[in-house]
Amino acid sequence: MSFVNPRPEWATEISDNEWRFIDEYLVDLNGTCAYQRANPNVTRGSARTRASELMAKAHVCAVIERLMHERGVTRTWIIDQYARIARADITEFVTVKGGKVIVSDFSEIDPEILPLVKTVRMTEFGIELELINQKPALDRLAKLLRMEVERTEISGPDKGPIEIADPAGEARRQLDLIAQRRTEAKAKEES
């Protein structure tokens, strides 16, 4: 099977399906969309579930993190980029002299901040310069820095407790079975 990006030699534990997902995930860092691009016949709900399952796998996350790091995309870099957008200031692009607003020569502007300009156009009143919207960057930065907490409350009918019926004790049997397997595995390791 052919992929957009070849799988690195060090990513031997990744299956073809996982690699297709990882390759697509690196496009926009959106798990649901990545899973749908890698598996076009899957519904959005299924894609969300499967993407979540893949992102819960430590080896998948480790490969994504390593590939992002190789591309220079680290948590610090992402926070720096959002902070740069959030701090965007129109005075980096214009100056006021003698009551006139003068737009800087773009060739003299730091190429790192040039992407902050959304539009430049001539109007009947002169040049209009618009920076990108800073609110999404501020919101995302606040979320990354855990300044806002998202909570989801799950409750039963009329906001009451959720009742779980397990008359046959299936949950207890499953927990006992897990405990037994762990004990057996530990005994094998020790012998």
Residue recorded with tokens 């948590």: 75
Q: Which two tokens stand for residue 74?
A: 């680290």
pLDDT tens for each residue of 44-99: 999 999 999 999 999 998 898 888 888 887 777 777 888 888 877 787 777 888 88
Residue 124 lies in a domain: yes
Q: What's the total number of domains in the chain?
A: 2
Asked if 91 and 120 sit in the same domain, the reply is: yes
Alpha helices in 99-169 (DSSP H): 135-144
Contact present, 100 and 61 (Cβ < 8 Å) = no
- Residue 84 backbone dihedrals phi, psi, to 5 degrees: -60, -45
Domain that holds residue 94: 77-137
Confidence of residue 26 (pLDDT cuts 50, 70, 90): confident
Contact present, 90 and 66 (Cβ < 8 Å) = no
Mean pLDDT, rounded, of the chain: 81
Residue recorded with tokens 């003698």: 98
Residue 168 lies in a domain: no
Q: Which of 26, 50, 73 is the last residue of a domain?
A: 73
Asked if 63 and 33 sit in the same domain, the reply is: yes
How many helices and strands in the chain, by DSSP H and E? 7, 4
- Report pTM: 0.47
What's the CATH code of the domain at 50?
1.10.10
Q: Which of 40, 73, 106 is the last residue of a domain?
A: 73
Asked if 27 and 47 sit in the same domain, the reply is: yes
C-alpha angle 166/172/177, rounded to 5°?
A: 140
What pLDDT is attached to residue 16? 87
Residue 162 lies in a domain: no
Q: Which of 105, 121, 137 is the last residue of a domain?
A: 137
pLDDT tens for each residue of 120-175: 888 888 777 787 777 887 787 777 666 766 677 777 778 787 777 776 677 778 88
